[in-house]
Structure 1
Amino acid sequence: MSVTEAFARVLSRSGGSSRAPTLDTSHNIVLYLEDISVSFDGFKALNSLNLYIEAGELRCIIGPNGAGKTTMMDVITGKTRPDEGSAWFGQTIDLLRLTEPEIAKAGIGRKFQKPTVFGSHTVFENLELAMAGDKSVWKILFARLRAEQIARIEEVLETIGLKDHRQVLAGGLSHGQKQWLEIGMLLMQDPELLLVDEPVAGMTPQETEHTAELLVGLAGKRSVVVVEHDMEFVRSIARTVTVLHQGSVLAEGSMQEVQNDPKVVEVYLGD
C-alpha cells in the first residue's frame, strides 16, 4: 500500500480535520441507545434495544449469532440507520444526525474483527498515520513530528506492548500484534468510546492474556465496549455483561449473574 493510499484510509477513519463536537458526560453516561429498532427485509435485527454505557466503564456484549451485536455497533458508528429510536453520545451529540466520519471525529472508535493495518509501513508509521489532528496530505507526507507527537506515539507503543517492534513492518507482525496495533491506531485518535469486535479470535493463549490486560488497562481512561464469543476471555475482563437475544437485551449484570440466569442458559450459554 502506498503512502497516498494509506493517507486516504486514515482520512476516512478520522473524519478529516473539522472541529469535533464537545462531548458532555456530566450525567456519567457516554452512550444512550433507546428503543432502537432495525429491520432488514422483514427480519428485525434490533427490536426496541435499550443500552446505556457509563463513562469509563468496560462493558462486554455477548449473545448468539443473529442477536444483533454487529447491527448495534453499526448503528452507533453510523453505518446503519435505525427505523426507530434514538442514539446519543453523551448529553448533546445526536449520533443519528452525523455521518460515519463525523461520528469518528466526535470520539467513537471501532475495531473490526479483522485487523486493517498498513502492512508495508512500520508499526511507528502506522501510529503516525493514525494520529489525530490535521490530516492534510502535506502534513502527513512532509511535516516533521513535534516532540509531543513523538511522545504520544511512544506512550501508545508502551500501552499496546509493541515498543520493541516500532521499526518492524506491520505486515510481519503476528495476528495478535496486528490486533494490538489497530487498537493503538484508534488510541492515536483519542476516542472517548472504543468498540472492539471479537478481539481475541485466532489468538494464542499468551496473546489473549495480553489483550485482556490491554483492554482492562484502557477502562477508566475511556469507555470500552467489547463484543466477544470467547466466554473464558469475557470472564477474565468482565465488569458488566449485557446479553443480547433477538435484537433486545435479555439480561445484564455481572458475569456470575448472567451466567446463572435461566433465560441466558436456555438461549445461549447452555451447559
Structure 2
Amino acid sequence: MSIFQELTNRDRVFEFLAPAQSPVDVRHGPILYLEDVSVSFDGFKAINNLNLTIDDGELRCIIGPNGAGKTTMMDIITGKTRPDTGSVWFGSRHNLLTKSEPDIASLGVGRKFQKPTVFEALTVFENLELAMAADKRVLPTLTAQMKPEYRDRIDEVLALIGLKELRQAFAGILSHGQKQWLEIGMLLMQKPRLLLVDEPVAGMTEQEMERTAELLTSLAGKQSVVVVEHDMGFVRSIARTVTVLHQGSVLAEGSMDQVSSHPDVIKVYLGEEA
C-alpha cells in the first residue's frame, strides 16, 4: 500500500486522533464513570455489572487474567461496543452511550492499542504534525502551513516522548519501544483529557520499559491515564491505584500491595489457593 493510500484510509487516520480541547465538566465528579455496565456476546457475559470511577488527572492501572473483560471495557468507553445495560459518563455532561466513536474521540478520549500504529513512511516530526492537524482531510493536511505555535507543540511533545534527536528519522526505522512512544506522542498532540493505553510495554526491552514508566507517570495530573497491563513489575513501578477485573467485574481495588495480598486476587489471578 502506498503512503497516499495509507493516509486516505479514514479508519487508520482517525484511529488515534483526539481533539485539541475537551469540553468536559469535572467540577461535580470524576472524569469517567461506569455504573452497572453489562454486555454479553453469544451468551457469554464479557462485562458483568461493572462499576468503575476514574478521577481527573488520575493514573489508574487495570489488571486481570485473560478474559477478564479489560479490552471489552475499553471498547465500551470508546464507543466500539455498546453494552446491554448500564451507563457510561465522561465528566458530568457527556453520556458516552449516546455518541459515536468519532464523537467520543472529539470529546477528548484517546486510545493507544497494543500494536503501535504509526506511518512508517513519514518522519517522526511528520507523524506528529499529521496527528495535530485541525483539518483531517488528507490534502489540507499535507499542504497546510506550519504555524509557530504548532511547531512549538511538536517540539514539546518530542521532548516529552524522548524522540527529539530523531525528529527527522523515518518512523519505520524506530525500535518497537520508540514506535510506542511516537504513537503516544501522536495522541498527546491533541491534548486528550483521558488516555487509554493497552499493554504499552509488551515486547519492550528493560530500558524501554523504564522510559515508558517515566513517560506515563509524567502525564498523570495533566491527563487521566488508564493503563491495561500484564507485566506486574511494570504495574508496580507506576501504580497509584490498581483495579483487578475478573469475569467482567471489579474483584479488588487499591494499592498494588493491597490487591496483591487480597485472598480472592491470589486465588483467581495468581492461580493459588487463598
TM bracket (short chain): over 0.9
Q: Secondary structure at the match of 1:65?
A: coil
Aligned counterparts, 1:1-271, within 5 A: 1-3=2-4, 5-6=6-7, 8=10, 9-11=12-14, 13-14=16-17, 22-131=23-132, 133-270=134-271
Distance in 2 between the 1:154 and 1:28 partners? 34
RMSD (CA atoms): 1.7
Distance in 2 between the 1:178 and 1:109 partners? 17
TM-score, normalized by length of structure 1? 0.95
Contact 1:61 1:69 in 2 (8 A): yes
Which amino acid in 1 is paired with 2:122? H
Which amino acid in 1 is paired with 2:219? L
Instruction: Show CA shifts across 1:172-217 (max 9, x none).
Output: 0000000000000011121100000000000000000000000000
Task: Give the drift of 1:31.
Answer: 0.2
Task: Give the drift of 1:132.
Answer: 5.1
Aligned length: 269
Distance in 1 between the 2:14 and 2:45 partners? 33
Distance in 2 between the 1:20 and 1:127 partners? 17
Which amino acid in 1 is paired with 2:203? G
Distance in 1 between the 2:14 and 2:81 partners? 20
Q: Secondary structure at the match of 2:68?
A: coil
Q: In terms of mean alpha carbon deviation, does 35-44 or 126-135 score higher?
A: 126-135
Contact 2:158 2:185 in 1 (8 A): yes
Distance in 1 between the 2:42 and 2:240 partners? 36
Q: In terms of mean alpha carbon deviation, does 37-46 or 6-15 score higher?
A: 6-15
Structure 1 runs of 4+ aligned residues shifted over 4 Å read: none
Task: Give the drift of 1:128.
Answer: 0.5
TM-score, normalized by length of structure 2? 0.94
Contact 1:259 1:269 in 2 (8 A): no
Task: Give the drift of 1:107.
Answer: 0.3
Contact 1:240 1:254 in 2 (8 A): yes
Distance in 2 between the 1:210 and 1:23 partners? 30
Distance in 2 between the 1:62 and 1:28 partners? 24
Which amino acid in 2 is paired with 1:42? G
Contact 2:82 2:97 in 1 (8 A): yes
Distance in 2 between the 1:152 and 1:72 partners? 31
Instruction: Show CA shifts across 1:238-265 (max 9, x none).
Output: 0000000000000000001001100000
Distance in 1 between the 2:6 and 2:271 partners? 46
Distance in 2 between the 1:177 and 1:21 partners? 27
Task: Give the drift of 1:136.
Answer: 3.4
Instruction: Show CA shifts across 1:40-64 (max 9, x none).
Output: 0000000000000000000000000
Gaps of 5+ in 1: none
Identity across the alignment (%): 68
Which amino acid in 1 is paired with 2:70? K
Change (3 A) 1:20 1:215: closer
Q: Secondary structure at the match of 2:180?
A: helix
Which amino acid in 1 is paired with 2:152? A
Contact 1:132 1:188 in 2 (8 A): no
Task: Give the drift of 1:5.
Answer: 2.9
Task: Give the drift of 1:28.
Answer: 4.3
Contact 1:6 1:129 in 2 (8 A): no
Distance in 2 between the 1:166 and 1:24 partners? 35
Which amino acid in 1 is paired with 2:161? I
Which amino acid in 1 is paired with 2:32? L
